[in-house]
Amino acid sequence: MPARDIYHNVVKNALIQEGWIITDDPLHLKWGQKDMYVDLGAKQLLAAEQGNRKIAVEIKSFVSPSEMADLKDAIGGFVMYRAVIQRV
C-alpha cells in the first residue's frame, strides 16, 4: 500500500463537499502482474443524465527539493494511469 500524500485528507474532504462519493481509497489497478494504486476513486451522480461520472484522483504535494523532478513524476504517473484505465 503506497504512502498517502500530506494533502490526501484535504483533497478527499473537498471532493466530498462538492458532492463526490469516494468509492476507492486508494483505487487499485492491476495490469498483468503489476499492482498500481491511484490515491482516490470517486463518482458523482448526474441527475440530468441519470448516470454516473467517475474520476481517479492522484494527489501530489511537490515538496521535494526539485519541483521539476516532482513535475516529471506527476506527469509520468498521469500518463501511466490514464493508459491503464483506458485498457481495463
Asked if residue 40 is part of any domain, the answer here is yes
Asked if residue 12 is part of any domain, the answer here is yes
3-state secondary structure of 46: strand
pLDDT by residue (tens digit) across 23-41?
A: 999 999 998 999 999 999 9
Asked if residue 78 is part of any domain, the answer here is yes
Count: domains in the chain: 1
CATH code, domain with 42: 3.40.1350.10
pLDDT by residue (tens digit) across 42-62?
A: 998 876 656 788 999 999 999
Asked if residue 3 is part of any domain, the answer here is no
- Domain span at residue 23 reads 8-87
Judge residue 40's burial from the number of C-beta atoms within 10 Å of its C-beta, 0-12 exposed, 13-18 middle, 19 or more buried: buried
Asked if residue 65 is part of any domain, the answer here is yes
- pTM here? 0.81
